[in-house]
Amino acid sequence: MEFHYPNGRKYTPVKNDSKVEKQEKKWSYGKRGMTLEEDINESNQYYLERGIAAIHKKPTPVQIVQVDYPRRSAAVIKEAYFKQASTTDYNGVYKGKYIDFEAKETQNTSSFPFKNFHPHQIQHMKAVLQQKGICFVLLRFSATDEVYLIDAEDLLFFWGRMENGGRKSMTKSEISERGHLIKLGFQPRIDYIKIIDYVYDFI
Amino acid sequence: MEFHYPNGRKYTPVKNDSKVEKQEKKWSYGKRGMTLEEDINESNQYYLERGIAAIHKKPTPVQIVQVDYPRRSAAVIKEAYFKQASTTDYNGVYKGKYIDFEAKETQNTSSFPFKNFHPHQIQHMKAVLQQKGICFVLLRFSATDEVYLIDAEDLLFFWGRMENGGRKSMTKSEISERGHLIKLGFQPRIDYIKIIDYVYDFI
């Protein structure tokens, strides 16, 4: 009898072992949070093209170790590592205001675990709020495809509860009470600017 | 007699040819704009630590082609290429306002050539201005170590002149007339926030 150790995914027997490995690896890197990211990028593109807002995803931070410079062709990075981001992933400008947010998704259905956030990102959110920037997170529950906007102040409230020994997550009901459910559409797919208009005061 | 073709650097004879090549290559990648970037990063760190502003350099955009996932250790990027940035390098928040800028330096002493800017960056500056963000460039003349802040509106004026068949640069006198010379200091080294306070209206 073969043992198939659990990794959270359905086991599918395949003959070619090396292929399985390759696919698994691709999945673990490429798929995590990809759908939400794609939806947000598409929405940002929509906003940009229509002059609604100029918001971009920051490039993935990479620590470059070795670069080759072949003659007559582009420099090739031969060794590099993924670095921990020191800020959130998205920022930009809307009606003169600084907009800053992080996007996260979970397979959980009843709560959003804080292990999705790095202390660096929390620190950055505090700095943005101190500078009176608009700061929030977009949380996606993938099982139900619900996306909530939660203001950073609220997130920090629950993060503080954890730091004081409380639960290591926000419950779904806390999120639906404090957060704002974003109706998903076709274009833009995640119209978070509409929620910003509603949630935040603009001069 | 040996000829040493000028490349703007002092010639130092070295026995090992391959070593010379390696050093030159390192220099051409690592040194270009490094001093200005370091000075700005240090200034941003100064602002961040004192709660004055939260402004960061964006990570270098990299197109990742191949990643290895060795068992029990961090993912290694084995092949990647530098990508053209679609925005400027620095952005963040100051007193609720969106701040966005690009930093460039030149060895020229009499003008600042536009070849230092990519059309993508110009496009991005237009989008930021349209959203009423604060947008500018920090230009450094390395020979004299002068750093000017030039508002994006002014840069776009001269860029437009080029597009209409005019000169492909801003002259030094145009820059000193339209721009704002930033007094260099010890901490922060480039106190551009002080100039922002002076140049832009805040509510």
CATH code of B133's domain: 3.40.1350.10
- CA neighbor of A99 nearest in space, from A157, A139, A151: A151
Q: Is residue B201 pLDDT above 80, yes or no?
A: no
- Name chain B contacts of A79, Cβ cutoff 8 Å: 76-78
In a domain, B12, yes or no: no
Provide the annotated binding site of B: 87, 89, 102, 121
pLDDT tens digit sequence for A80-105:
999 988 899 999 999 999 999 999 99
Q: Is residue B24 pLDDT above 60, yes or no?
A: no
* B94/A124 CB distance under 8 A: no
Domain range for B94: 18-55+85-199
Domain count, chain A: 1
Q: Does B74 touch chain A (CB under 8 A)?
A: yes
* A98/B100 CB distance under 8 A: no
In a domain, A9, yes or no: no
pLDDT tens digit sequence for A3-29:
555 555 555 444 444 444 444 444 333
What HEC string does B40-107 produce?
HHHHHHHHHHCCCCEEEECCCCEEEEEEECCCCCCCEEEEEEECCCCCCCEEEEECCEEEEEEEEEEC
In a domain, A137, yes or no: yes
In a domain, A175, yes or no: yes
In a domain, B1, yes or no: no
Residue B88: HSE in the Cβ half-sphere, 13 Å Cα cutoff: 29
With a CB-CB cutoff of 8 Å, which residues 2-61 of chain B face chain A? 25, 28-29, 48, 51, 53-54, 56, 58-61
CB nearest to A96's CB, from B28, B60, B97:
B97
In a domain, A40, yes or no: no
In a domain, A71, yes or no: no
Q: Which residue of B has its CA nearest to A30?
A: B67
Q: How confident is the model at residue A72 (pLDDT cuts 50, 70, 90)?
A: confident
Q: How confident is the model at residue A121 (pLDDT cuts 50, 70, 90)?
A: very high
pLDDT tens digit sequence for B52-79:
999 999 999 999 999 999 988 889 999 9
CB nearest to B59's CB, from A58, A69, A99:
A58
In a domain, A26, yes or no: no
pLDDT tens digit sequence for B129-153:
999 999 999 999 999 999 999 999 9
pLDDT tens digit sequence for B8-19:
555 554 444 444
* A131/B96 CB distance under 8 A: yes
